[in-house]
Amino acid sequence: MPNDTLPNHTPPDDKSPDCGPNCGGPRVRAIPPGEDRERLMCPDCGYIAYQNPLIVVGAVATWEDGRILLCRRAIEPRKGYWTLPAGYMEERESTREGAAREAWEEARARIDIDHLLAIYDIPRISQVQMIFRARLLSPDVEPGPESLEVGLFEWKDIPWAELAFPTVIWALREHHERLGRSDCAPALNPTPDALARWEKML
């Protein structure tokens, strides 16, 4: 668990994903010494190009009256559909800082992150999504560069048929079922039972 120094597997400090200046680049799939699975390697210098899962951070952010912030996507995938403010975590920030940054970037929303609402594993695309609950510090929001429009939605007005991704539906449902609760374990990917129950509600 290398957390106190740079891990022994990362690229050199210059963060170049490339290897040596005279190398042909990582282009061969091979099992590195001491490992048990194939990696993309440079046969000239032995550099290993690790591929890792990505973290998506986001928030169900509500105003005092319970209305929920949603953003209509200006970019693919799922351009034109509604989503929670969320996106890829950046280096050298915390998960909470990342969720707050995304709310600002996508909706010019200042939010106060509360607790972790849900963690969704999406192994098919190697993503882990961490969705927080948050309070909007002001109801004044406006579209950032990745949003066509943004808005605060009462529960009954949520555009369920126009939500961009399954995890948006999941997080909104969990938020609604947990109203008034905070000190509980984050939700995980919903069970088939939960999905069936939610389906009936639509």
Instruction: Determine if 59 is a binding residue for a second copy (CB under 8 A).
Output: no
**Residue 118 contacts residue 185 (beta carbons within 8 Å):** no
Give, as ranges, the residues between 94 and 133 that touch a second copy (CB under 8 A). 94-97, 105, 115-116, 119-130
The torsion angle over the Cα atoms of residues 108, 114, 118 and 121, rounded to 10 degrees, is 70
Rank residues 145 and 192 by Cβ distance to a second copy and give the closer one: 145
Per DSSP, the three-state class of 115 is strand
Per DSSP, the three-state class of 97 is helix
Instruction: Determine if 1 is a binding residue for a second copy (CB under 8 A).
Output: yes
Which structure tokens are listed for 100?
């707050």
Instruction: Determine if 51 is a binding residue for a second copy (CB under 8 A).
Output: yes
Q: Which stretch binds a second copy (CB under 8 A): 5-13, 132-140, 151-159, 172-180?
A: 5-13
Sign (positive/negative) of CA torsion 76, 191, 171, 132? negative
Instruction: Determine if 86 is a binding residue for a second copy (CB under 8 A).
Output: yes
Candidate residues 43, 44, 46, 49; the one interacting with a second copy per rule CB under 8 A: 49
How many residues belong to the site for a second copy (CB under 8 A)? 74
